[in-house]
Amino acid sequence: MITALGKTWHPEHFLCRHCDEQILDATFNVQSGEPVCNKCFVERYTYTCAGCKKPILEKTICAMGESWHEDCFCCGGACKKPLANQTFYERDGKPYCKQDYEDLFAARCAKCEKPITDSAVLAMNVKWHRDCFRCNKCENPITSQTFTIDGDKP
């Protein structure tokens, strides 16, 4: 006899509510007060990780409209650092840490070539950091709307 869920069962009657297979495992799952075998539980009641595509049986991270294992929710860039409980940026369905996102996707300054992460000056069909947009001759910041171009430099 099997005692489970507040009842006593004949082993041949202790069946999964979905597939009607006898539950032989010592561990089983419960849905709506009825036993469910591990296979049916994974198929019907668990989320699939967006990272590894395997069922999630423990803590779930919900981000970007998907579910993730905590270990699978990591930066899509070079660092691969965990992003659970961290600020992240999304690009093409992948999460990125701030540093990798900027390194990979941020616009680059025409002068220093570093990522532009705040407001920029758009001049001569390229972007510049405000501090980098300077006169090529005297190095003074260009703050007016008009300036002269010398070759390809302001």
Are 40 and 53 part of one and the same domain? no
Number of domains comprising the chain: 3
Are 112 and 75 part of one and the same domain? no
- Residue 146 reports pLDDT greater than 70: no
Are 122 and 97 part of one and the same domain? no
Overall pTM surpassing 0.75 (yes/no): no
Assess contact for 109 and 124: CB atoms under 8 A.
Answer: no
Which CATH number do you get for residue 86?
2.10.110.10
Domain that holds residue 7: 2-45
Q: Averaged over 45-64, what is the pLDDT?
A: 93
What CA dihedral angle connects 117, 118, 120 and 126, to 10 degrees? 20
Assess contact for 129 and 111: CB atoms under 8 A.
Answer: yes
- Residue 144 reports pLDDT greater than 90: no
The whole-number pLDDT of residue 63 equals 95
Are 77 and 33 part of one and the same domain? no
Q: Facing residues of 121 across strands?
A: 128
Are 74 and 120 part of one and the same domain? no
- Residue 154 reports pLDDT greater than 70: no
Are 100 and 58 part of one and the same domain? yes
Are 114 and 99 part of one and the same domain? no
The tens digit of pLDDT for each residue in 98-122 reads 999 999 998 999 989 999 988 888 8
The tens digit of pLDDT for each residue in 71-87 reads 999 999 999 999 999 99
Distance separating alpha carbons of residues 32 and 66, to the nearest angstrom: 26
The whole-number pLDDT of residue 139 equals 81
Instruction: Tell me which of 33 and 124 has the higher pLDDT.
Output: 33
